[in-house]
């Protein structure tokens, strides 16, 4: 990408990667690893045997799965709820804001301690029109941090 600023007349500019890891985004880049482990589409999301979230009529959930791993010898407290992160899923012309739920596994509202050397499975839910399911070919996840929208490395 040539920005035309004349700083590198050779034209071999390196494009700076402005993407952020989810661990860095939540302030735990040094002690946690947050890995995207895939996605699927479903009419509802069931957590355990007690709690479920159902998509509205004519919509489905696009569910992205993430594993939070503690890479240290110490327990790490995570509090995404008070940070109020906002997530957005984009793919082509599709742009969907993330749902905020009180599921124990909702990454956007996750509060808990990840024990040393342990991992926790979490999800992000995006409610999409049923007709748009096939349009999600290369999903991009964005996170709003301090009024700055950043693209997440998946």
Model pLDDT for residues 72-129, shown as the tens digit of each residue: 999 999 999 999 899 999 998 899 999 998 889 999 999 999 999 999 999 999 999 9
Q: Which residues on adjacent β-strands are paired with residue 123?
A: 65, 106
pLDDT score, position 66? 97
- What pLDDT is attached to residue 51? 75
Q: What is the pLDDT of residue 1?
A: 44
Half-sphere exposure of 133 (CA within 13 A, CB side): 13
Given CA atoms 142, 144, 145, 149 in this order, what sign does their dihedral have? positive
147, 15 Cβ separation under 8 angstroms: no
pLDDT at 16: 52
Return phi, psi of residue 25, to 5°.
-60, -35
* Per-residue pLDDT at 112: 96
């Amino acid at each position: 990408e040539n920005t035309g600023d004349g700083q590198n007349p050779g034209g071999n500019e390196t494009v700076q990667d402005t993407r952020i890891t989810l661990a860095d985004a939540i302030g735990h880049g040094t002690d946690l690893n947050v890995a995207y482990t895939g996605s699927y589409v479903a009419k509802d999301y069931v957590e355990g045997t007690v709690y479920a979230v159902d998509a509205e009529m004519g919509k489905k959930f696009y569910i992205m799965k993430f594993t939070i791993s503690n890479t240290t010898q110490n327990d790490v407290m995570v509090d995404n709820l008070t940070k109020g992160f906002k997530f957005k899923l984009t793919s082509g012309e599709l742009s969907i804001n993330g749902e905020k739920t009180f599921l124990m596994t909702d990454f956007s509202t996750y509060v808990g301690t990840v024990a040393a050397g342990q991992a926790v499975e979490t999800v992000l839910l995006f409610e999409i029109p049923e007709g748009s399911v096939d349009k999600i070919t290369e999903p991009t996840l964005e996170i709003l941090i301090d009024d700055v929208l950043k693209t997440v490395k998946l």
